[in-house]
Amino acid sequence: MEEVIFALSSPPPPAPLVLLRLDGTEATARFIDLMVESPPRRAEDLLPRIPLRVNLTWDADAPPTPAVAVVWKRGSSWTGNEGVEVALPGTPAILDGILARLEQVGARPATPGEFTRRAFLNGRIDLSRAESVAALIEAEDRTAVAAVRRVLEGEMARQIGSAAAKLLEVLAMLEAGLDFSEQEVESPGSQQARVLLEPVLADLDQMLGARSAGSVAGAIPRILLWGRPNAGKSSLLNALTGEALAIVDAAAGTTTDAVRGLLMESGREVEILDLPGDREAQGEVESRALERARDVVDADDPIVWVIDGSRDAAEIEQERASLPEEWRSRVRPVLTQCDRERFVDPQFLPEASRVSSKSGEGIDALRQHLVAWSARSAGQQRSDALRFNARQWQLVSTCRDRLSVAIVQADAGPELLVEDLKDALRHLEEVTGESTPEDVLDLIFSRFCLGK
């Protein structure tokens, strides 16, 4: 039994016409209560989905108000509940009377987002779609609308769902192995689990890699740090974020996995990704790491080309010539280590920022530049990418990180692996609302406007 709620889901009156929505188990009966004097008086007279002209008489003394109503049976409305949509004149005095009458007969005003929440609870839409309803309302341009549409059409839910299903499959196998270890049910060994989990990790990386910045509320743009081994990329990440996120070492090839950081500047956030140095891979693990890094740079996020400015100008020139042609429009050179005695001539590469991660010189200015740059660079214009909002991005990214740890530690035994995987899965399921805690739902739906 769902309480009957109501709200105007059109811009506020005065207006020539407004749309009043009723939703809940006895929505039709409450609507009939608005028709004191005029037929039809019984719910059976209202045919579902067929627009019906009626006169609303909320008060015996007031003149009847002409309206057009559409009744939805349980299971066929947008929320999945019984519902009525009424188009009526948006005259404030009339509306006040009608809404007051609805309250008298036992309906109550909806809270912001309550219709969408009901649709979610009834399984009509997943959480990523529910959130995109809010994003659609806030969308500022056609690109944003196109991106939101793809989420509304369920693409995000499909991709997340498919990754979750694969994790669940591995979990089920591992758990069967644990439960029946005496009964000789074969449990996938760590090697096999790894083989099954690697593609899931790749899928998540791809989802995170395909994510682009945009004007959709909450989306975070991303910048990549790219360059030769030992250029000073990890040091730069640490200096820009003010945190010791990445390991720094004089040995070339220190960074083997992407390290994420968050830049914050005048209320805007940008994700910054430190990648392994560009080099010939030695060994299988390294070659996989480099392959993954190249996939990330092949997406169209802006790239900071980090250069050790103490190197020979001719060598740097050569490196520039070897950068892929397609990158040209999204590469920004940064000469680092400017505290060193030997440093390239100021005339050389004039468009490059000159910074030192060691002394901090130029770091604040670079941070400001990067945040401003990310807001107007290429990734922004794409409409074909899925866009995660900040909440979704954080969840998928955490899941990805947990999964990556799980894969590395797979040898430590199935019990630990099961725990890691469950943790990863929980984050993923929160994106679509499979396992979203009540207070998070409250927070999400409270961001909606009234009548949605």
Interacting residue with Mg ion among 57, 187, 238, 255 (CB under 5 A): 255
DSSP per-residue codes, 196-237: HHHHHHHHHHHHHHH----SSTT---EEEEEESTTSSHHHHH
Indicate the DSSP class of residue 186. Answer: P
The residue with its CB nearest to ligand GTP is 277
Binder of residue 97, out of Mg ion, ligand GTP, none (CB less than 5 to 8 A by kind): none
Give Cα separations from 66 to 56, 97, 184, 232 (angstroms). 6, 14, 74, 72
Q: How far apart are the C-alpha atoms of 321 and 45, rounded to whole Å? A: 77
Host H or E run for residue 67:
strand 65-72
List 28, 235, 241, 374, residue binding ligand GTP (CB under 6 A) = 235
In this chain, which stretch among 144-152, 162-170, 172-180, 351-359 interacts with ligand GTP, using CB under 6 A? 351-359
Query: Quick check: 389 binds ligand GTP (CB under 6 A)?
Result: no
* Nearer to ligand GTP among residue 87 and residue 281 (C-beta): 281
362, amino acid identity? G
Residue 231 binding ligand GTP, by CB under 6 A: yes
Return the residue of 64, 109, 112, 253 that touches ligand GTP, per CB under 6 A.
253
> 69 or 344: whose CB is closer to ligand GTP?
344
The dihedral region occupied by 331, where left means phi > 0, alpha psi between -120 and 50, and beta the remainder, is beta
Nearest-5° angle of CA 213, CA 216, CA 221? 20
Our CB check for ligand GTP shows the closer of 53 and 342 to be: 342
Tell me which residue of 390, 5, 422, 385 sits closest to 207, measured CA to CA: 385
User: Is 233 or 330 the residue whose CB approaches Mg ion more closely?
Assistant: 233
DSSP 273-320: EE--------SHHHHHHHHHHHHHHHSS--EEEEEETTS-HHHHHHHH
Q: Peptide bond preceding 14: is omega within 30 degrees of 0, i.e. cis? A: yes
Q: Give min distance, CB of 263 to ligand GTP, in A.
A: 17
Site map for ligand GTP, 175-214, x if CB under 6 A? Answer: ----------------------------------------
Query: Interface mask (CB under 5 A) for Mg ion, residues 216-245, using x and -?
Result: -----------------xx-----------
Under rule CB under 6 A, residue 230 binds ligand GTP: yes
Of 190, 254, 310, 398, the one binding Mg ion (CB under 5 A) is 254
Closest CB 254 distance from Mg ion, rounded Å: 5
State in angstroms the smallest separation of the CB of 176 from ligand GTP: 41
Name which of 77 and 255 has its Cβ closer to ligand GTP. Answer: 255
CA 353, CA 344: separation in Å to the nearest integer? Answer: 12
CA atoms of 110 and 271, how far apart (whole Å): 37
229 to each of 221, 232, 259, 375, how far by Cα in Å? 25, 8, 15, 28
Taking the complex as a whole, how short is the minimal distance between the CB of residue 308 and Mg ion, in angstroms?
12
Task: List residues binding ligand GTP (CB under 6 A).
Answer: 227, 229-235, 248-250, 252-255, 276-277, 336-337, 339-340, 356-358
The residues of the shown chain that bind Mg ion, judged by CB under 5 A, are 233-234, 254-255
